[in-house]
Structure 1
Amino acid sequence: MASPLIGITTMNALRHDGLAAVSLLRRYVIALTEAGATPVLIPSAMPDDGVDALLTRLDGVLFSGGGDIAPEYFGGAPHPRIGGVDPERDALELALLRRVVEDGVPFLGICRGCQLVNVGFGGTLYTHIADQHPGALKHDYYPDSPRDLLVHEVRLKEGSRLAEIVGVEVFRVNSLHHQGIERLGDGLEAVAYAPDGLVEAVEVPGHPFGMAVQWHPEWLTAHATARALFRAFVEAARGSD
């Protein structure tokens, strides 16, 4: 069977010598490769017709984690913990999201990618969960804990596609974020929640595979739930070619 080509969004970064670089943690590549895909990196610096050129070749898109989305996109409250904002990346990813939704291209959002999907559908974010979400759990375990540390449960909506994929409705996940979904975007369905009520996963009803999770499954491929999620995404991408 053909290996589907899945694009992964990336970060703008500086090398140790000050040179500009395109950056992505390798765990995304490993998770997709193990699930049977051929990953390619999507730089944030693209020509005007770059999104069109990409989508003539890609079978799926993974919106990866990273810095915060500019609060101007969702009317977010200023907060001193907002960091890593990259206007070039925001613009590219929101344009890419619009197209994959319109064209029915399978996509998966992870952490920032989940927040991006919500913003792209007109939703809002907590700019710092600990200060703004009543009764919030600790969600920002990075950088003081291992990235694969399972820190809280998520409860999935019965009958959701995500629940069907992973085969269980409650399991434990890692948590490496300080922002999260406040108001759900129009056209999205919340399909997983943390014990404090924070939305942990969303789906796009009727889309071939439109899904995003707030945790980082690429660090959890030792667990069956994470492997099942990546396999389902890759299979959906394979079916789109």
Structure 2
Amino acid sequence: MPKPLIGITLGRKFKDDEGLFAISETYITAVERAGGIGVLLPALRDDEAVHRVFQRLDGLLLTGGADVDPALFGGQPHPSVYGVDACRDATEIALVRMAVENGWPFLGICRGIQVINVALGGTLYTDLPDQLGPQVAHRSEEVGHPVRIDPSSRLASVVNTVELRVNSYHHQGIERLAPGLKAVGWAPDGLIEAVEVPGHPFGLGVQWHPERRLDSPPHLALFEALIQAAQGGYNG
């Protein structure tokens, strides 16, 4: 069976007024180790181009990175918001909506789960320490925290556990869950850490960074499940 093509979204930075697309190599490694082929997706300014990309790929990986624009979900401005990229936001939101409507396998990581929620009508905390409180260190990868997982969820069947210790590096997070999404993972402070699209072949988002924990079977299993779904074989 041919290896599926997985679109991997890229972030964008600016140096000397020149835009540079980039992503951590760990995302590409994760897709390859799971049996797929990563295809790098820059932000696209043309709606037709987004549709053509969608038609040629087998699945989608929404990566971490800079913040989602608070204006897209009615959020309050905050001085900690950084790196907003309107073109990236628009591209990823369009891809999520097409993936949901067409049953296209996708996995969102960190920023990715936030994009999924905003694309489907939810809202975000613009800064967790200010709005939710400091009970859990959500921006301290070295410390991390546990995530409680719904035992009946697809996520639980993929990672084969109902509690998972995760790395954590973010300051935005889901506030109001989007209609059509189901929360299936929670941090100790109640923050939603994982979501699924019920009835979808494979629509999943996690707030942590499994691509940085590929030596841990539950984290690698997320990518393996995405690849299996992209091949048409996932039935979890």
Task: Please give the TM-score of this superposition, normalised by the length of structure 2.
Answer: 0.95
1:37 is matched with 36
- Give, in whole Å, the separation in 2 of the partners of 1:18 and 1:56: 33
- SS of 2:50's partner is helix
Q: Give the share of equivalent positions with the same residue, in percent.
A: 51
Q: Deviations over 1:124-154 (max 9, x none)?
A: 111000110146311112xxxxx5x461100
1:233 is matched with 226
- Give, in whole Å, the separation in 1 of the partners of 2:166 and 2:130: 22
Tell me, which stretches of 5 or more residues in structure 2 are unaligned? Answer: none
- Give, in whole Å, the separation in 2 of the partners of 1:32 and 1:132: 34
- SS of 2:75's partner is coil
Q: What code does the residue aligned with 2:232 have? A: G
Matches within 5 A, 1:1-241: 1-15=1-15, 19-134=18-133, 136-141=135-140, 149=142, 151-239=144-232
- SS of 1:239's partner is coil
Residue 78 of structure 1, CA deviation: 1.2
- Give, in whole Å, the separation in 2 of the partners of 1:182 and 1:21: 31
Any conservation in 2 of the 1:150–1:173 contact (CA below 8 Å)?
A: no
Q: After the TM superposition, which segments of 4 or more aligned residues of structure 1 sit over 4 Å from their partners? A: none
Q: What code does the residue aligned with 1:12 have? A: R
Residue 64 of structure 1, CA deviation: 0.5
- SS of 2:195's partner is strand
Tell me, which stretches of 5 or more residues in structure 1 are unaligned? Answer: 142-146
Any conservation in 2 of the 1:155–1:193 contact (CA below 8 Å)?
A: yes
Q: Deviations over 1:195-236 (max 9, x none)?
A: 111100000001110000000000011101111111011100
Task: Please give the TM-score of this superposition, normalised by the length of structure 1.
Answer: 0.93
- Give, in whole Å, the separation in 2 of the partners of 1:108 and 1:150: 24
Q: What code does the residue aligned with 1:5 have? A: L
Q: Deviations over 1:76-128 (max 9, x none)?
A: 11111011100111111111111111111000000000001111111111100
- Give, in whole Å, the separation in 2 of the partners of 1:20 and 1:119: 25
- Give, in whole Å, the separation in 1 of the partners of 2:158 and 2:70: 33
Any conservation in 2 of the 1:150–1:172 contact (CA below 8 Å)?
A: no
Change (3 A) 1:187 1:48: closer
- Give, in whole Å, the separation in 2 of the partners of 1:153 and 1:106: 26
Any conservation in 1 of the 2:146–2:188 contact (CA below 8 Å)?
A: yes
- SS of 1:81's partner is coil
Change (3 A) 1:184 1:102: same
Residue 38 of structure 1, CA deviation: 0.4
Paired residues in the alignment total 233
- Give, in whole Å, the separation in 2 of the partners of 1:14 and 1:74: 25
Q: What code does the residue aligned with 1:158 have? A: P
Moved more, 71-80 or 131-140: 131-140
- SS of 1:56's partner is helix
1:144 is matched with none
- Give, in whole Å, the separation in 1 of the partners of 2:218 and 2:12: 30
